[in-house]
Amino acid sequence: MAYEAVIGLEVHAHLLTHSKIFCGCATAFGAPPNTQVCEVCLGMPGSLPVLNRKAVEYALKMALATDCTIAPESVFARKNYFYPDLPKGYQISQFELPLAEHGHLEIKVNGQAKRIGITRIHLEEDAGKLVHSEARPVSFVDFNRTGVPLIEIVSEPDMESPDEAVEYLKGLRNILLYLEICDGNLEEGSFRCDANISLRPVGAKELGVKVELKNMNSFRFIKAALEFEIKRQRANLSAGREIVQETRLWDTSSNQTVSMRGKEEAHDYRYFPDPDLVPVRIDHDWLESLRKNLVELPKARLKRFQAEYGLPEYDAEVLTSDKALADYFEATVKLFPQPKQVSNWIMGELMRELKKEEAGIDSCRVSPAALGKLLSLVDTGALSGKLAKTVFEDMVATGRDPEAIIKEKGLVQISDSGALEALAQEIIDANPKEAADFRAGKTKVLGFFVGQLMKKTKGQANPQMANEIFRKLLA
Amino acid sequence: MTEPLYSLSISQLAPLLARGEVSPVEVTARLLERIKERNGELNAYLTVDEAGALEQAREAEACLGRGEAASLTGIPLALKDVMVTRGLRTTCASKILENFIPPFDATVVARLRREGAVILGKANMDEFAMGSSTENSAYGPTHNPWNREYIPGGSSGGSAAAVAADLCIASLGSDTGGSIRQPASHCGVVGLKPTYGRVSRYGLVAYASSLDQIGPLTKEVRDAAILLNTIAGHDPKDSTSVPQAAADYTEALGREIHGLKIGVPREYFGHGLDPEVEAAIRAALKTLAGLGADLIEVSLPHTEYAVATYYVVAVAEASSNLARYDGVKYGFRAEGKNLMETYLNTRTQGFGAEVRRRIMLGTYTLSAGYYDAYYKKGSQVRALIRSDFETAFKACHLIACPVSPTPAFRLGEKLADPLTMYLSDIFTISANLAGIPGISVPCGFSSQGLPIGLQLLGPAFGEAEILQAAYAFEQATDFHRRKPPF
């Protein structure tokens, strides 16, 4: 029997507020353990939470950006469970009445557009972090992360393949970055994803037994875990074995999912409205002003890139799928107003170099200004396209200015026609057969002559001039 | 000066301090001395902060010397051990917080300090404020100063006994289902539970967050108004504290109550009400009528569901509020072989029987499959109880009724029967569920010489009115002047 996968995703995104969701402690990542804590986030007896308005604002922005319906009144609830990284013995989250519901996000896989439903977006606090000692059977707990604001974005089970899942996640992450409300760092855990996945016979309406997947801290792992899980479940179903409802972890050392806990061990979280907090009422005017001032989102920017810069859809799509890349493009175009040229360089040379270094555009050493200067040099004929690539490699490696590199390496294009003519004559004299061929009408050998000249000048000859000189001398 | 310093009320002591006739250090030292001599008989204090109190008294003295007296400068007070005090052990009368030193002051404590009060120490209570007799303290029960064989009421039994026995000038307690008013009634002092949200809960160790409220226990009504002036008001650290500005609660004291409509709830005078209590309350109603108040009968039809509703809502919140005591971060820890065992050992050994009972009840009422039948239903009934009062207060200004169906009972008498114990809160619990203010004011004595209190309930934020009526009643009677044979 043929099976199809049904995938739903839960994303937890750290909000980039300066202070925590229910107290004034800092949220910065990487501080020494337990230095960003107070009586509130430590859950000391008698302490009470006070909601950070900025966190609500950020969550609302995401809700608006994904076309959610925003609840005029939502309620914080306590999710009760015991764990050493949870100082109060409950997490303040939202349950029955979340901040926003019924949104959606459009993705594109293999050129096909698809709308993925967003069930809900709610606010909650993060837990702390356990650090397990390698030397002794001891664990430590760091409460710096406790109380960092999170939004949980729950999708409908609308995805059918790992590729769709990854596209959806990249789309969400991109919007979060556009809104500047999350740094989107999967490795540091500021953008985390759990997946629910089940299989059913193709065409069946009813959903199969689902498995929850955790511990996937990169897009690569998410894809691999989903692929593995589809194979595993298909094998089980084909062999007539039932799927066990459980939570499984992606194990990076064995490249497979392993069982963490079964349904019987699942928590009863005993949710109830948190009596320490009042319902969150969203003021209509506030919401409207957020809506009005929402930044340009990827979809709008894509359209604008096509209209304003005349870019093909593909270029516009690639560039706007990463806010930093799109920003980089626009900054470069401002200095070198030939959008297609800039796009070609970014999508070609720049992205190739970034891929080599496995780096993002944020850590790229070449500034838009430097790239703009390089492209101007090519444009004015001061630098050949080929040389420009050599210079660019150096720029990526060292972050130096293109002119400095050109000067140091003596890469300035030779455009002195006298000097070039002398060299060209030498080459013609040394290659009488090829010269005869050309004169006999085999114009293809012109390339040979130009190549020889380039060799002699270490690539510095102005190629256009070289062509003209040979044509003249061989005429 | 005929009366000893320790027996004075705030309103008696403050002018003496202001005029320099007595000094804060003198009063504080005298009280510390009396606590040292007599606390053993009552077990009203769990922690006495001798050095801290004297230090605060010296500061108060300096303030007075500079002519910078505030409303409580040099007044020695006791705090129920459920309000956190920076650097001073706060146990909630539980083993699980045996050596817990809070790193911050509760908002009420900070306000008291700002007004120059001297904090003598922390008063005994039922563990985590769960109980009606102060017998559920991990550090032994408090005795009633009127008769040491009897309970002082609870859960603020230590605070009430300390006031009645002149081991402080006044105190603060907390009231979740009657825990200020009932011990005030049993100890013959004044106890006020403010409107929910009137006083900040920041730093009040939570039992049932939607019901808990801090309030004063005092020797006379005026003192309750004075303390409320200090502790009431919006606190940005407590999201449930109301932004509405607090009034000067002493202003209405002395105004006559002629024409005040006082409702008498039919449902509060039935089966189970001790005849001596009923007689005292009826006499008190007559006194109020004599002062010009109009008595009218009102109905609070959902009264019979109040205790059940309370024991669904309160225990549910408690089960969650007390989850933080897990032996990981502070307080008592009983080691185990693994994490689960450490949790189980810590919480089994660290909590007393009544606390464990309520945690289990609350965990049950919130469980999957039971939530709708218990917690949700409880919340719905709670709304009905609230609307009972709203309806009643359309017909009257205040409600007068008993605080407790009986005078104080004997130590140990109800310990084996939690249900009977729970029923002793039947007249106080509704006010917490409705969030309205209530006061207990002395109104008589049983044939055994145990105090009886009259309860006055008002609409939300009606503190000034209930204080006005309580004051008028107090001035017309002399029950508050009697001192226990202690």
Contact A278 B371 (CB under 8 A): no
Residue B204's pLDDT band, with cuts at 50, 70 and 90, is very high
Mean pLDDT of A271-299: 95
Give the tens place of pLDDT for each residue, A71-96: 999 999 999 999 999 999 999 999 99
Chain A residues lying within 8 Å of B345, measured CB to CB: none
- What are the structure tokens assigned to B462, written together? 């009606």
Find the closest chain A residue to B329 by CA distance. Answer: A87
ipTM over 0.90: yes
How confident is the model at residue B486, as a pLDDT? 85
Q: Is the dihedral of CA A354, A358, A361, A362 positive or negative?
A: negative
Give the tens place of pLDDT for each residue, B213-257: 999 999 999 999 999 999 999 999 999 999 988 889 999 999 999
**Catalytic: B179?**
yes
β partners of residue B402: B454
Find the closest chain B residue to A42 by CA distance. Answer: B329
Say if residue A415's pLDDT is above 80. no
Say if residue A450's pLDDT is above 80. yes
- Shortest distance between the Cα of A55 and any Cα of chain B, in A, equals 16
The domain spans of chain B are 5-255+462-481
Task: Provide residues of B within 8 Å CB-CB of chain A.
Answer: 83-84, 90, 92, 97, 100, 102-104, 106, 201-206, 208-210, 236-240, 316-317, 319-320, 322-324, 326, 328-330, 339, 343, 363, 366-368, 371, 375
Domain B5-255+462-481 carries which CATH code?
Answer: 3.90.1300.10
Say if residue A406's pLDDT is above 90. no
Residue B286, CA distances (Å) to A56, B397, B407, B474 in order: 56, 17, 20, 13
Contact with chain B for residue A95, Cβ under 8 A: no
How confident is the model at residue A165, as a pLDDT? 96
Give the tens place of pLDDT for each residue, A227-271: 999 999 999 999 999 999 999 999 989 999 998 887 777 789 999
Find the closest chain B residue to A139 by CA distance. Answer: B339
- Work out the percent of chain B whose per-residue pLDDT is above 70: 100
Higher pLDDT, A382 or A330: A330
Higher pLDDT, A387 or A433: A433
Mean pLDDT of A433-441: 87
Mean pLDDT of A208-227: 93
Alpha-carbon distance of A329 to B411, in angstroms, equals 81
Mean pLDDT of chain A: 90
Say if residue A414's pLDDT is above 80. no
Picking from B202, B371, B375, the nearest residue to A48 by CB comes out as: B202
**Catalytic: B155?**
yes
Mean pLDDT of B84-101: 97
- What are the structure tokens assigned to B351, written together? 């909590």
**Catalytic: B174?**
no
Q: Are A376 and A370 in contact (CB under 8 A)?
A: no
Give the tens place of pLDDT for each residue, A7-50: 999 999 999 999 999 999 999 988 999 999 999 999 999 999 99
Mean pLDDT of B107-136: 97
Provide the 3-class DSSP secondary structure of residue B137: coil
How confident is the model at residue B310, as a pLDDT? 96
Mean pLDDT of B279-291: 98
What domains does chain A contain, in order, with CATH numbers?
3-286 (no CATH), 296-409 (no CATH), 417-474 (1.10.10.410)
Residues B369-375: contacts with CB under 8 Å, at least 24 apart: B371/A270, B371/A271, B371/A272, B374/B312, B374/B316, B375/A272, B375/B312, B375/B313, B375/B316
Does a cis peptide bond (omega within 30 degrees of 0) precede residue B156?
no
- Shortest distance between the Cα of B323 and any Cα of chain A, in A, equals 5
Chain A residues lying within 8 Å of B210, measured CB to CB: 275
Q: Is the dihedral of CA A182, A186, A190, A193 positive or negative?
A: positive
Alpha-carbon distance of B59 to B75, in angstroms, equals 12
Mean pLDDT of B94-104: 97
Q: Which of residues 61-90 of A touch B (CB under 8 A)?
A: 78, 80, 82, 84, 87-90
Alpha-carbon distance of B74 to B60, in angstroms, equals 5
Residue B480's pLDDT band, with cuts at 50, 70 and 90, is very high
| Phi (first) and psi of residue A111, to 5 degrees | 80, -5
Chain A residues lying within 8 Å of B85, measured CB to CB: none
Q: Which of B9, B11, B23, B80 is catalytic?
A: B80
Residue A454's pLDDT band, with cuts at 50, 70 and 90, is confident
How confident is the model at residue B2, as a pLDDT? 67
How confident is the model at residue A199, as a pLDDT? 95
Contact with chain B for residue A42, Cβ under 8 A: yes
Contact B375 A277 (CB under 8 A): no
Residue B418's pLDDT band, with cuts at 50, 70 and 90, is confident
